[in-house]
Amino acid sequence: MTTTLYTSDHEWLAIDGDVATVGITDYAQSQLGDVVFVELPKLGRTLKKAEAAAVVESVKAASDVYAPVTGEVLETNPDLASEPALVNSDAQGKAWFFKIKIADKSELGGLMDEAAYKAHTA
Amino acid sequence: MLARDDQDSLKRTPLYNLHISLGGKMVPFAGYDMPVQYPAGVLKEHLHTRNAAGLFDVSHMGQIALRPKSGKVEDAARALERLVPQDILAIAPGRQRYAQFTNAEGGILDDLMVANFGDHLFLVVNAACKAEDEAHLRANLSDDCVIEQLADRALIALQGPKAESALAKLCAEAPAMKFMDAGPHKVAGIDCFVSRSGYTGEDGFEISVPAGDAERLAKALLENPDVMPIGLGARDSLRLEAGLCLYGHDIDTTTTPAEAALEWSVQKSRRTGGARTGGFPGAEKILAHFDHGASRRRVGLRTEARAPVREGALLFADASSSEPIGKVTSGGFGPSLNAPVAMGYVPTHQSALGTKLFAEVRSQRLAVQIAAMPFVKNTYKR
């Protein structure tokens, strides 16, 4: 059973036990435009909540993606290197960025559910 | 991850309502509310311009008429030569030329297009500089010229391999024009100034149109299925692939024309030994750079990696040295090349084509190589 939560910086987290799969929201990709490059965090790196974890580059600009929670990077999405445009076509599905082992579940308390995120981007 | 700018007090071009109706995503640019892209997106807009035709609203740019008080256009040309290192007298009626306003230190105040319309000169200058340019012209040329900012005109660029056929439907004379021809023409029955030029490396036109007719003309061009509206995002990626300078980034008040690799734009007549050598601001330094070389030079850069190298990235001679040798002034992703492209300044002795350097991107050194510009071949109709 997974729960999806959102940050005010437009990242999503699908939480399954103590592992969160992280990506950027469909709203975020629509604002960024055509994604041409994604830089992902190194495996095993421990990210602090709100730290720059990844970079998504459109034709126009580079934007940071922040770690929504503190934890160790367990896995990164190999498909984004060869097909960065996946971020535009399937932001909240195939274009997940990385999986992180959640160090402190209390950090999830400040995140939004889908209804709250929808209101945030309305 | 997304910033919003204050939209208040931004100026609007005569095509603002059209941009909104076309779904343009509006952003502040040089004091104007401008479309950065339309629903198609930067990538498709860029490629469409290279494959068919793109329509750009560049009405934010300044259009200035320089009218000689004597009635003789040569007198306006001679006067303007006091502010630019170009041969303005040699611009024949119906032709235009690329020029730069220089400062006393040999730097560039703005770059511009100068057209000879027979009885006066017509200038197109950058949006961010237009007030300063007008003041500069008034301060220096008022004895000889009447300077008129043509604020009641819009400017539409039509660029790409289908630009000629698209414009020909509304202006039968368009196909006979050659690259850098410029003059008054009727387009869709409207009195316009048309030049065969642009900022994409493609064949194409720039059309100056009275503000009140601009939307009608733009709509008439957009009715053609070959023509798609293009935002500032693709305008930037197109000019970058074409190796063209963006004022305030690749050239500014600290770069001389020689440093900026703009030698081609300064004619022999204004150089050392020429018929009208010097006589423009910063001539001593600018000509010395032509005669003896400058210590740095603008070059094109290609990378091996997929990560774009953007403006501000520092350049290094090797993977570990601590002292940067130069800096990237424009960089991004080139959709036609499907690869990153950039330009920047490096020491002249390290500026040869093929020189391998490193660019620092997010604390990593990426291998880059000095490459010939334009990155994408020009298709001007000469």
Domain ranges of chain B: 16-54+153-241, 295-382
Residue B96 near residue B197 (C-beta atoms within 8 A): yes
The yes-or-no verdict on residue B185 having pLDDT over 70 is: yes
Separation in Å, CA of A117 to nearest CA in chain B: 15
Residue of A nearest to B236 (CA): A60
Contact state of B1 with A63 under an 8 Å Cβ cutoff: yes
The yes-or-no verdict on residue B1 having pLDDT over 60 is: no
* Measured distance CA(A21)–CA(A91) in Å, rounded: 12
**A21-76: per-residue pLDDT in tens?**
999 999 999 999 999 999 999 999 999 999 999 999 998 889 999 999 999 999 99
* Measured distance CA(B364)–CA(B10) in Å, rounded: 38
**B316-339: per-residue pLDDT in tens?**
999 999 999 999 999 999 999 999
Contacts of A78 in chain B (CB under 8 A): none
Q: What is the pLDDT, as a whole number, of residue B176?
A: 98
Q: Residues A120, A121, B3, CA angle at the centre, nearest 5°?
A: 105
Average pLDDT over residues B334-345: 97
Separation in Å, CA of A16 to nearest CA in chain B: 25
Residue matched to tokens 């007090």: B9
Residue of B nearest to A11 (CA): B1
Separation in Å, CA of A36 to nearest CA in chain B: 7
The yes-or-no verdict on residue B96 having pLDDT over 60 is: yes
Indicate the range of A26-30, B7-11, B109-113 predicted with least confidence. Answer: B7-11
Q: What is the DSSP string of A41-83?
A: PPTTPEEPTTSEEEEEEESS-EEEEE-SS-EEEEEE-THHHH-
* Measured distance CA(B119)–CA(B71) in Å, rounded: 7
Contact state of A63 with B2 under an 8 Å Cβ cutoff: yes
The yes-or-no verdict on residue B378 having pLDDT over 80 is: yes
The yes-or-no verdict on residue B360 having pLDDT over 60 is: yes
Separation in Å, CA of A1 to nearest CA in chain B: 29
* Measured distance CA(B310)–CA(B250) in Å, rounded: 12
Contact state of B237 with A63 under an 8 Å Cβ cutoff: no
Q: What is the pLDDT, as a whole number, of residue B315?
A: 98
Contact state of A36 with B333 under an 8 Å Cβ cutoff: yes
The yes-or-no verdict on residue B2 having pLDDT over 50 is: no
Say how many C-beta atoms besides its own lie within 10 A of residue B106's C-beta: 25
Of A31, A37, A59, the CB nearest to B307: A37
What domains does chain A contain, in order, with CATH numbers? Answer: 3-104 (2.40.50.100)
Of A34, A66, A81, the CB nearest to B41: A34
- Amino acid making up residue B309: V
Residue B3 near residue B31 (C-beta atoms within 8 A): no
Task: Give percent above pLDDT 90 in chain B.
Answer: 97
* Measured distance CA(B375)–CA(B239) in Å, rounded: 10
Average pLDDT over residues B194-217: 98
Q: Where are the alpha helices (DSSP H) in B273-358?
A: 283-292
Structure token pair of residue B98? 């690329």
CATH 2.60.40.1180 fits B295-382, yes or no: no
* Measured distance CA(B93)–CA(B364) in Å, rounded: 53
* Measured distance CA(B238)–CA(A17) in Å, rounded: 47
The yes-or-no verdict on residue B194 having pLDDT over 60 is: yes
Q: What is the pLDDT, as a whole number, of residue B304?
A: 86
Of B42, B306, B308, the CB nearest to A34: B42
Q: What is the pLDDT, as a whole number, of residue B173?
A: 97
The yes-or-no verdict on residue B6 having pLDDT over 70 is: no
Q: Residues A52, A55, A61, CA angle at the centre, nearest 5°?
A: 120
Residue of A nearest to B339 (CA): A36
* Measured distance CA(B312)–CA(B371) in Å, rounded: 19
What Cα–Cα distance (Å) separates residue B37 from each residue in A32, A103, B44? 11, 41, 10
* Measured distance CA(B382)–CA(B380) in Å, rounded: 6
Q: At what angle do helices B232-241 and B42-51 cross, to 10 degrees?
A: 50
More confident site: A122 or A15: A15
Separation in Å, CA of B313 to nearest CA in chain A: 13
* Measured distance CA(B46)–CA(B200) in Å, rounded: 9
- Rounded to whole angstroms, the maximal C-alpha distance in chain B is 63
**B210-228: per-residue pLDDT in tens?**
999 999 999 999 999 999 9
The yes-or-no verdict on residue B301 having pLDDT over 80 is: yes
The yes-or-no verdict on residue B3 having pLDDT over 60 is: no
The values of phi and psi at residue A14, to 5°, are -100, 115
CATH architecture, range B16-54+153-241: 2-Layer Sandwich (3.30)
Interface probe for B, chosen from A59, A63, A120 (most Cβ of B below 10 Å), is A59
Average pLDDT over residues B223-239: 98
The yes-or-no verdict on residue B8 having pLDDT over 90 is: no
Task: Give percent above pLDDT 70 in chain B.
Answer: 98
Please give the ipTM for the structure prediction.
Answer: 0.87
